[in-house]
Amino acid sequence: MLEILASGNHHITHLPSPSNDSKPISNKPNHLQILKKCTHLIQFKQAHAQIIKTPLHQSDTYLSKIIEGVVGFSDLIYARQVFDQITEPSTFAFNTMIRGYGTNDLGPEGIDLYIRMRHRGLIPDNFTYPFLLKACSGLKQGKGVHSLVVKDKRFSSEIHSLTSLMTFYCSFGDVGSARLLFDRMPQRNVVTWTGIIAGYVKQKRYKDGIELFNQMKNNGVEINELTLVSVLSASANLGALEIGQWVHEYIDQKRILLNPKLGAALIDMYAKCGHIDKAYQVFGTIPCKGVYVWNAMIGGLAMHGYGNEAIERFQEMQQNGIMPDRVTFIVVLSACSHSGLVEKGKEILLSMRKDFGIEPNIKHYGCFVDILCRAGLLNEAYEVIINMPMEPNAVLWGTLLNACAAAANVELAEAAMQRLMVLEPFNDGNYVLISNIYAATERWNDVGRVRKILKDRKISRNPGHSLIQVDNVVHEFMVGDGRHPCSEQIYGMLEKVAIIIKEWSL
């Protein structure tokens, strides 16, 4: 095993004998270098098993290095076993374990270890808070770490700890607190700026994200591919094609490699901004098409109504050796839904567990219900909702209610509304829909009853709105909005478009 891993000057013959070897680690580079060369966990464990037989390698420093290696392979159980062998773990060893827990969604274990570290009288260093805050991601009890950082004068102005703190607030959606921290930071770099932009984007505050990106550019801060992924996501969701195109040109100019995540973001941006042809073009240029890239492309085709093409790409990705994931099935099922492919959708849903070992979740069932609803199969959709293996949520009942509005099906609409009044009691859209269904069937008493509920529960009706970007400015319109300076021309054009559509549909 070690022979395979050792290369050049570092050969197996350099292994220390198991006894009487008390030279310091630094004089024995082979073992650590051999471990570094391991590309798979199994290799690493085998190499470790060989080396650990020597007394030298039971030193805390060495074991800490082992933990670091194993944490890199995400085997936290093995890492913990090694950690527990250390009689006097150093701050480095604690840091490494906390980092491992934090990056593997085992935050509470990381926090627990930090407490143990302090009980042992160890002082945190500049790495501890970033790792600990990562472990606290999404956990409100992590707010206590904020005061720890503030009190620790060594790090209360230190960029890594503060950026981690900012990201921690973003992790449970408190972008307001994150922004306060950001504004007060003595130093900011590309990571800090990207972190706050990503925070806004995750909260769907796309305009704020773009605004900060503009500020970042004006401040002359370096921009990298991580920044651009968030900016592309914001422009995609705003339909801000010009910003997205600027990013694309920047990528080309700076010769930034289209890694799978950046490539997927670019495809998604073009697809959401209406340019499926450009999305396809970008798709063709990405050298390593990971599952993200395929998902973005299939999702783009789905939203443009190219169901059969989406399914072809789904098959092609498998021929290319890429395993579909949960998201792939969501976008493929959504392709079936937008193209009326009922049987295909059913077949794909059934194949998830059977052929791919992926258990369908509520989103997959949601897509299938949508397939049935859009095909007008409302009774079948209702049957799926009440018989699926998990508790239906508001999205499922909302899908059915929407479909009932299109078909004026009062009976099923009432069944859906009954649940929605519990699940989403303040969603004005649902009340509007049921009221419209009653109106369409001339049930005026029921229309009045719904209006009274809206009034009694003080539910305000939230008007729909749409966004469009022209010449780098995003314009927002509400229903019946007349505030825009070009309102008259816009409505004039809208009427013309409506006439054209009517002519087409005749």
Partner DNA sequence: TTAGGGTTAG
- Options 327, 375, 439, 474; binder of DNA; rule CB under 7 A: 327
420 lines the binding site for DNA (CB under 7 A): yes
182 lines the binding site for DNA (CB under 7 A): no
Q: What angle do CA 380, 406, 375 make, to 5 degrees?
A: 40
Which residue's entry shows tokens 């984007």?
201
- Options 43, 54, 85, 126; binder of DNA; rule CB under 7 A: 126
- Please, what is the minimum distance in Å from the beta carbon of residue 485 to DNA? 31
**Is 74 or 489 the residue whose CB approaches DNA more closely?**
74
Spatial CA neighbour of 198 closest among 219, 212, 177, 181: 212
339 lines the binding site for DNA (CB under 7 A): no
239 lines the binding site for DNA (CB under 7 A): no
Report CA-CA distances (Å) from 190 to 126, 161, 198, 336, 501. 19, 15, 12, 41, 48
- Please, what is the minimum distance in Å from the beta carbon of residue 402 to DNA? 4
- Options 30, 177, 192, 339; binder of DNA; rule CB under 7 A: 192
Q: Is 308 helix (H, G, I), strand (E, B) or coil?
A: helix
**Is 152 or 490 the residue whose CB approaches DNA more closely?**
152
| Residues of span 40-99 touching DNA by CB under 7 A | 68, 91-92, 95-96, 99
Burial level of 422, CB count in 10 A (0-12/13-18/19+)?
exposed
Q: How many residues bind DNA (CB under 7 A)?
A: 72
421 lines the binding site for DNA (CB under 7 A): no
| Residues of span 88-107 touching DNA by CB under 7 A | 91-92, 95-96, 99
**Is 141 or 487 the residue whose CB approaches DNA more closely?**
141
Q: Is 253 helix (H, G, I), strand (E, B) or coil?
A: helix
Report the amino acid identity of residue 308.
Answer: N
- Please, what is the minimum distance in Å from the beta carbon of residue 46 to DNA? 22
- Please, what is the minimum distance in Å from the beta carbon of residue 143 to DNA? 17
Distance between CA atoms of 308 and 299, rounded to whole angstroms?
Answer: 12
Distance between CA atoms of 434 and 145, rounded to whole angstroms?
Answer: 48
131 lines the binding site for DNA (CB under 7 A): yes
| Residues of span 273-302 touching DNA by CB under 7 A | 291-292, 295-296, 299
Report the amino acid identity of residue 60.
Answer: D
- Options 394, 439, 467, 474; binder of DNA; rule CB under 7 A: 394
179 lines the binding site for DNA (CB under 7 A): no
- Options 37, 143, 160, 217; binder of DNA; rule CB under 7 A: 160
- Options 12, 52, 191, 453; binder of DNA; rule CB under 7 A: 191
Q: Concatenated DSSP letters for 263-307?
A: HHHHHHHHHHTT-HHHHHHHHHH-SS--HHHHHHHHHHHHHTT-H
Q: Concatenated DSSP letters for 203-216?
A: TT-HHHHHHHHHHH
**Is 1 or 346 the residue whose CB approaches DNA more closely?**
346
